[in-house]
Amino acid sequence: MKRDERQLDLPLNASPKLRVINGLGQKREEPLTDRDAVARVLIEAGADLLLRRISPERAETIERDVDEVLDLFDRVDANPLLRPVLQKKLDALEALVRETRDKRRVRRQGR
């Protein structure tokens, strides 16, 4: 069965109208550059845990790392000299997320 790769687009203006756009069928993996992107990692991990695609231990590790990174964002606001520490933690979290997604893909393909 051929996959339908179209997506819905909901403009956020005064007259919301749905329109279909062509997508690539894959979720875009965004770099972790701000608080929102980091928060989405936590949401993704929660969904993966609920769907039993990751272990509780991995979800807990992700949650701990996300909390640490969000705390660092606040500390960097007060002390910009901590920016390299934040970047190092963001890189580590991104590596953990990438590894988690890769393991999830491998498991899904093995079914």
List pLDDT tens digits, range 44-77: 999 999 999 999 999 999 999 999 999 999 999 9
Helix axes 56-78, 83-109, angle to 10 degrees: 160
Is this model's pTM higher than 0.85 or not? Answer: no
State the alpha helices, DSSP H only, in 1-111. 35-50, 56-78, 83-109
- pLDDT value at position 16? 55
> How far is residue 12 from each of residues 2, 16, 21, 34, 84, measured CA to CA in Å?
31, 6, 15, 22, 36
User: Within 10 Å of residue 45's Cβ, how many Cβ atoms?
Assistant: 23
pLDDT of residue 30: 81
* pLDDT for position 69: 97
pLDDT at 32 (0 to 100): 92
pLDDT of res. 108: 67
Which residues are CB-contacts of 24 (< 8 A; sequence separation ≥ 6)? 5
pLDDT tens readout for residues 82-91: 999 999 999 9
